[in-house]
Amino acid sequence: QVQLVESGGGLVQAGGSLRLSCAASGRTVRNYAMAWFRQAPGKEREFVAHSWSGGNTYYADSVKGRFTIFRDNAWKTVYLQMTSLKPEDTAVYYCAAANRLYGGIREGAYDYWGQGTQVSVSS
C-alpha cells in the first residue's frame, strides 16, 4: 500500500513559479510509474505529466517546456516544478502512482492517488 500526500500549492501571480511535492509513505516508489493530474473548476481531471523507469518523462502539450516532473534520490518524493504559470493553470493538482514501470496518461492506469493541492494563478 502506498499513501501519497501533496504539498506546495498556493496563490501565485502569472509568470511565477511553484514546486509541488508528492511524498510517498509505506514504501519507495522507485519502480512505480508516477504522474500529476489536475482538475480545474467545472472541468474534468486532466493529465499533466508522468515519469517512468529510466528517468523518462512525458508532458501534456499545455505545460510542455514550463513544467518538470522529477524524483528525489531516495525515491520517496516526486516533484512538479512549475514555471511561467498562467491563469489557466489554476486547478487542484493530484499526484498518482501506478504499481508498474509505465503508467501513461490515463487516470485508470494509476492505483494510488493523493488528496490534491490547490494552485491558483492570478492575472
Over residues 50-66, mean pLDDT: 94
Within 13 Å, how many C-alpha atoms sit on residue 90's CB side?
12
Over residues 49-62, mean pLDDT: 93
Residue 106 has pLDDT above 90, yes or no: yes
Residue 27 has pLDDT above 80, yes or no: no
**pLDDT per residue as tens digits for the range 61-90:** 999 999 999 998 677 899 999 999 999 999
Residue 31 has pLDDT above 90, yes or no: no
pLDDT at 123: 94
Answer for the pair 103, 35: CB distance below 8 angstroms, yes or no: yes
